[in-house]
A and B are shown apart, each in its own frame.
Chain A
Amino acid sequence: MQVPANFEYAKATTVEEALALLARHGDEARVVAGGHSLIPMMKLRLARPEALIDINDVAELSRIRVEGDALCVGALVRHAELLGSAVAGEHFPILHDAERVIADPVVRNRGTVGGSLCQADPSEDLSAAFAALRATAVIKGPDGERTVPVREFHTGPYETVVEAGELLTEVRVPIRPGGSSAYVKVERRAGDWPLAAAGAVLRLADGRIAEAGIGLTAVRAEHFFAAEAEDALRGAVPSEELFAEAGRIAAAHCDPGSDQRGPADYKRHLAGELTIRALRRAYERCMP
């Protein structure tokens, strides 16, 4: 039987309360929401927090809304809620593509957007999707609120810029006209982590690519995006040849390792091929 070690437990109902509890319990406290990464890690003693601050009842973190020119996704939004959100899917089909292949429907009922980002698993899907979208993370702490681009949010495997005493509260995605997006993943079986996955975000203007975002996961792309491939796309006229070139560059600039999911050369091949497929689908979706 796998059971976590002992810990103190406290339930917050507001962000202020969560921050006060984090301050009281200090460095060894962890925030828990869906718990679908943290609780398994605690069972295996890979994580051993002295206190858990439960934010499942912090209703203000559960909202998805459009504010100004951004889609705001609360940190406590469940994967199933993001997948079911018409406004999220309308503006960012990449988010629905990704959510459809994250874990399984029952896990998606519990796991959260903020938890996925803060877990910072190097194979996590939303990290790549939000990196491709150039989203911004909103973090609250004892000194107030700060924002960090998702592209600077992860500082390494399982590490983020969120410090002890702080709470990720929201992810903001800029809404820009004239574009679309897509996410493509290869996994060994339903609900598994990806061997590799790619997200593409395109914005077109006057027949050219005004802005491109390429997110990659599970292939050790730095900060979950492919900067060199984006550079090759920006300003160019979309074509199959261009997408193939972007795929080649994305594959060359990631650094996958071999593991039980597959050999490095296969993952590198996937990084390129999935970049092409994601670009193709995003481009098709740009067409009226």
Chain B
Amino acid sequence: MNITVTVNGRPYTRDVEPRLLLVHFLRDELDLTGTHWGCDTSNCGACVVWLDEVPVKSCTVLAVMASGKEVRTVEGLERDGELDPVQQGFTECHGLQCGFCTPGMLMTSRWLLDRSPDPSEAEIREAVSGQICRCTGYENIVRSVRWAAEHSSREVAQ
């Protein structure tokens, strides 16, 4: 069936089977391979994208469900060539090793900071508790999000 999904502000129209999952629509139909396809069972969180401003696991959403809606992926984080503070934080604090979980971690972290600009360590851990870093680099992921929080608020203050 014909669907139109707005991804990172740009509408895409495609003819898809109803059984196509959103993660595969993004990666295979739109070539937006920043979103990673991981466990396929909504456990690992590598595939997290925003659907109408809310993070969801895109391996458990049908592409047809996103028709007429707005999707934001990791490719939509940077603005005018500037990395988002969470991307910068992961760079500064060694928040990734293999990088497989990173897109999902970034999307959830951005959402957390939008709602809670100065989150505690416990809040950060709770926010990413549905996402698995198989390198077990959680300490640095938490530090990266804190870095983003501190540097975002500094920018606002300036």
User: What residues make up the interface of A, taking CB atoms closer than 8 Å to B?
Assistant: 1-9, 11, 35-36, 39-40, 42-43, 52, 54, 56, 80, 103-107, 109-110, 190-191
Smallest Cβ distance from A89 to chain B, in angstroms? 17
The minimal Cβ–Cβ distance linking A58 to chain B, given in whole angstroms, is: 13
From A35, A190, A191, B60 is in contact (CB under 8 Å) with A35
Contacting residues of chain B (69-89) with chain A, CB-CB under 8 angstroms? none
Count chain B CB atoms within 10 A of each CB in A11, A109, A190 and give the residue with the most. Answer: A109
Q: Which of B18, B41, B108, B126 contacts A9 (CB 8 A)?
A: B18
Q: In the docked arrangement, what's the CA distance between A198 and B65, Å?
A: 35
Q: A52 is contacted by which of B18, B24, B45, B67 (Cβ under 8 Å)?
A: B18
- Chain B residue with the shortest CB-CB distance to A34: B60
Q: Give chain A's interface secondary structure class.
A: loop
Give the Cβ gap from B123 to chain A, nearest Cβ, in Å. 10
Contact of A106 among B18, B57, B62 (CB under 8 A): B57
> Contact: B1 with A9, CB < 8 Å?
yes
Closest to A57 in B: B68
Query: Which stretch of B6-14, B95-103, B127-135, B140-148 is in the interface?
Result: B127-135
Whole-angstrom distance between the alpha carbons of A178 and B24 in the complex? Answer: 52
**Nearest 10 interchain pairs by C-beta:** A104-B130, A9-B18, A190-B129, A2-B40, A106-B130, A4-B19, A109-B54, A110-B56, A106-B55, A104-B129
Whether B56 and A109, one on each chain, are in contact in the complex, defined by CB atoms closer than 8 angstroms, is yes
**Are B19 and A107 closer than 8 Å at their CB atoms?**
no
Q: Determine if B17 is an interface residue (Cβ-Cβ < 8 Å).
A: yes
**Please, which residue of chain A has its CB at the minimum distance from the CB of B125?**
A190
Is there a chain A Cβ closer than 8 Å to B61's Cβ? Answer: yes
Say how far A93's CB is from chain B's closest CB, in angstroms: 18
Please determine whether A106 and B19 come into contact, CB atoms closer than 8 angstroms: no
B130:A7 contact, CB within 8 angstroms? no
- Beyond A104-B45, A107-B42, 4 additional pairs, beta carbon < 8 A: A1-B24, A7-B19, A35-B62, A39-B60
Distance of A274 Cα from B114 Cα, bound (Å): 36
Whether B5 is near chain A, meaning CB under 8 Å from some CB there, is: no
Chain A: which residue is nearest B48 at the CB level?
Answer: A106
Query: Which residues between 1 and 60 of chain B lie within 8 Å of chain A, taking CB atoms?
Result: 1, 17-21, 24, 40-42, 45, 48, 54-57, 60
Whole-angstrom distance between the Cβ of B132 and the nearest chain A Cβ: 10
Per the bound structure, the CA–CA distance linking A42 and B61 in Å amounts to 12
Contact of B130 among A11, A40, A103 (CB under 8 A): A103
Q: Are A106 and B65 in contact (CB under 8 A)?
A: no
By the criterion CB–CB under 8 Å, are B19 and A40 in contact? no
With A35-B60, A39-B62, A52-B18 as given contacts, are A106 and B108 in contact (CB-CB < 8 Å)? Answer: yes
Distance of A35 Cα from B41 Cα, bound (Å): 12
Q: Which B residues lie within 8 Å of A109 (CB)? A: 54-56
Give Cα distance in the complex from A106 to B108, angstroms.
8
Would you call A40 and B54 a contact (CB within 8 A)?
no
- Is B17 a contact of A105 with CB atoms below 8 Å? no
Q: Contact between B65 and A54 (Cβ–Cβ < 8 Å)?
A: yes
A40 adjacent to B42 (CB under 8 Å): yes
